[in-house]
Amino acid sequence: MFTRTLAVLRKETREILRDPYTLGIALVLPLVLLVLLGYAINTDIKNIDLVVLDLDRTPASREYARAFVNSGYFRWAGAVDDYDAIGARLDGDEAEAALVIPPGFGEALSAGRAAQAQTLLDGSYTPFAQVASAYVDAINAAYAGPPKAVNPSPRNSPATYARRWCAFCSASAAHRLVKFSVNVSTLPQSSPGSKPA
């Protein structure tokens, strides 16, 4: 068996040495492709259109929303006044993500309690939603340390939050649950500018 392999190896070596052009293609072309595709393929998603529903309207909530825009991954697409406007923007492809800051966000941070925020992502293309969700987690980690789990009970699962969100929408918004990826983040008890209690 080994002698057959050696014979084929000798034959192929002679063929390659007779034709240096083939040797050049066999060695150089993969290196060129490696360099070109290494720079051409980029999985970063930038300029994700973000709308913000700021129900808190405090400096802390504005600073948190600004952290998303300043990250370079999200682009400000405007402020909205209610969940129906979020749904309309996401359905109309005017936005790809929405940030909801609930009332009491700034008060909770300044009192040293955990504060929650919600992001709604366009989930029609799953890889996009996964990358955008990872960006949200990274922004939360940079803003106030690693995000903590909300509550592992089934009552607080993302699907439950999606149903709660839909309960605040119009009845015709039920079809949007398939499209949206819901992420509820709990920020730790201290923000970058505050001192822990």
Q: CA 82, 100, 159, 125 torsion: positive or negative? A: positive
* Whether the Cβ atoms of residue 56 and residue 102 lie closer than 8 Å to each other: yes
CA distance 151 to 142: 22
Residue 175's pLDDT is 36
The pLDDT value given to residue 123? 81
User: What integer pLDDT is reported at residue 76 of this predicted model?
Assistant: 95
Residue by residue, DSSP assigns 76-145 as: EEEE-SSHHHHHHHHHTTS-SEEEEE-TTHHHHHHTT--EEEEEEEE-SSHHHHHHHHHHHHHHHHHHHS
pLDDT digits (tens, 9 = 90+) for 78-93: 999 998 999 899 888 8
The pLDDT assigned to 187 comes to 63
Residues of the chain with pLDDT below 70 are 144-197
- Please report how the helices 20-40 and 2-18 are oriented relative to each other, as an axis angle in degrees rounded to 10: 90
Structure tokens at 113: 């309690």
Instruction: Identify the pLDDT of residue 126.
Output: 81
Q: How far apart are CA 123 and CA 129, in angstroms?
A: 5
pTM of the model: 0.61
pLDDT of residue 47: 92
Cα–Cα dist 152/89, whole Å: 31
Q: What are the backbone dihedrals phi and psi of residue 125, each rounded to the nearest 5 degrees, phi first? A: -120, 105
Query: Taking the CA of residue 69 as centre, how many other CA atoms within 13 Å lie in the half-sphere pointing to its CB?
Result: 14
- The rounded distance, in Å, linking the Cα atoms of 80 and 149 is 27
- For residue 184, the model assigns a pLDDT of 58
Rounded to whole angstroms, how far apart are CA atoms 103 and 66?
17
